[in-house]
Amino acid sequence: MSEPAREPTPVQTRVQTITQMPPSPASQLAPVRTQRLRSPNWITVGQVMVTLALCAFLIVPMLMSVMAGLTVNYFRGVSSGLTLRWVSNVLETYGDSVLTSLYVAAATLALVLLTGVPAGYALARSRTRLSRLIEEMLVLPIALPGLATALGLLAIYGGFSAFRNSLWFIVVGHFVFTLPFMVRSVAAICASIDLRTLEEGAASLGARFSQRFFTIVLPNAWPGILAGALTVVTLSLGEFNLTWMLHTPDTKTLPVGLADAYASMRIEIGSAYTIVFFAITIPLLIGMQLLGIDPGGNLDPQRLQRKHAKRRARESAALADASTSALPETPL
């Protein structure tokens, strides 16, 4: 096995990465060496090709469907002209499903906020075996297929036609599926900021539990709450497995409508409908990316670490000032 270009590159990249390392002594992160794309050896070429192929595989169909939804005639391609006809057609025919999805997502979010935030806090604060079991239990709806949950719901509540035929039936299914994400997200942030000591501090100043909860716990846990909320909404908008089993012709959500359209409509309509779906979910996803929320609903710990490292670096610098400003005025 020959690696013709191996010798020059390692030394050069070593020098480069050393200067790229953060200068702050307070940074305790394992250094990640990143390199600029350099002249190739075979391995890198292989990697690049696989990466390009994969990215094409994932991204091209998305672009294609956007284009298909905007062209007059899919078979003739872009040359047939661009139009918003299909999109407006979709909004007319399927506009209800979009609203339904939004209502369901909003209702699910409301339920999850009211029940999941306190639960996440409680589980983070009481690290007992019971609380760990409860966390495990809450995760089960994700571990088991959505079909099982749907069948179960139908089995029990199928008879209560008023409930079964209402939107709340779907909301309930979404609720059990999204609850663990909020609980985990809130629990994670509560654990990471050492809430217990903060609360002891507040208690030492006379604050009762309810006062502490609203003045200290919630304000400090809100990044986790926000991450959980965005995750819940995104999951609810994209939920299909459960919803398909539970829906009625009057309670069609966006994904359910999509399934209909793909099956029975021409490709331009299916694509336009997909564009509508993208238009609703992609801004949410971008928002989550910008805030550093990973798809599991957790704040990226590396980003938090980087923030802390930056703060520590600022502190070390400020320390130099502080030690001079801390000179006592007391007689020596």
Partner 1 sequence: MHDLTFPVRWRIALLAPALALFAGFWLLPIGRLIQLSGGNDALATYRAVLTNRRYLESLGATVALSVAVTLATLVLSVIVGLFLTRHSFPAKRVLLALLTFPLAFPGVVVGFMVIMLAGRQGLIGALTMALTGNKWVFAYSMTGLFAGYLYFSIPRVIITVMAAAGKLDASLEEAARSLGASPWQIMRDVVLPALAPALTASAAVCFATSMGAFGTAFTLATDIDVLPMTIYTEFTLNANMVTAAVLSLVLGVVTWAVLALARNLTGQAAAAAA
Partner 2 sequence: MKLDSIPVTLRQCGKSFRGQRVLQPLELSIGAGETLVLLGPSGCGKTTTLRMIAGLEKPDAGGTVLFGDEDVTARPIEQRQVGMVFQSYALFPNLNVRGNIAYGLRIKKTDPATMRQRVGELLELMELEAHADKPINELSGGQRQRVALARALAPQPRVLLLDEPLTALDARLRDTLRTEMNTLLRGLGITTVYVTHDQAEAMALGDRIVVMSAGRIEQIGTPRDIYYRPSNRTVAQFIGTLNRLCGEVRDGMLNTLGGAVPLNAPLRAGAVTTYFRPEDATLVAPHAAQLHGVIEAAQFLGERTRLRITGAAPDTLVIDVAGHLELSRGTAVGLALRPDALLAFEID
Stretch that binds partner 1, among 87-95, 122-130, 310-318, 323-331 (CB under 8 A): 122-130
Least distance to partner 2, CB of residue 219, Å: 4
Please return the burial class of 281, using the count of CB atoms within 10 Å of its CB with bins 0-12, 13-18 and 19+. middle
Answer yes or no whether residue 35 interacts with partner 1 by CB under 8 A.
yes
Nearer to partner 1, 50 or 322 (CB): 50
Binding mask 203-222 for partner 2 (x = CB under 8 A): xxxxxx--x---xx--xx--
Shortest gap between Cβ of 94 and partner 2 (angstroms)? 43
Choose from partner 2, partner 1, none: what does 36 bind? Cβ within 5-8 Å by kind: partner 1
Tell which one of 30, 37, 162, 327 touches partner 2 (CB under 8 A): 327
- Phi then psi for 25, rounded to 5 degrees? -70, -20
Contacts of 119 (CB under 8 A, 6+ apart): 138, 183, 186
- How many residues of this chain interact with partner 1, rule: CB under 8 A? 108
Binding span for partner 2 by CB under 8 A among 58-66, 113-121, 199-207, 287-295? 199-207
CA distance 99 to 208: 42
Tell me if 98 contacts partner 1 by CB under 8 A.
no
Beta-carbon contacts of residue 258 (< 8 Å; ≥ 6 apart): 270, 273, 274, 277
Rounded Cα distance between 27 and 321, Å, is 20
Q: Minimum CB separation from partner 1 for residue 282, in Å?
A: 6
Instruction: Pick one of partner 2, partner 1, none as the site partner of residue 279 (Cβ within 5 to 8 A by kind).
Output: none
- Report the 10 Å Cβ neighbour count for 79: 8
CB atoms within 10 A of CB 89: 15
Residue 51 tokens read as: 């990466």
- The helix (run of H) or strand (run of E) holding residue 75 is none
CB of 13: closest distance to partner 1 in angstroms?
Answer: 10
Confirm or reject binding of residue 139 to partner 1 (CB under 8 A): yes
Least spacing, CB of residue 42 vs partner 1, in Å: 10
Distance CA 313, CA 302 (A): 16
Q: How far apart are CA 268 and CA 100, in angstroms?
A: 23
126 binds partner 2 (CB under 8 A): no
| Residue 115 in tokens | 């029940």
Q: Which residues bind partner 2 (CB under 8 A)?
A: 193-194, 197-198, 200-208, 211, 215-216, 219-220, 311, 314-315, 318-319, 321-323, 325-328, 330
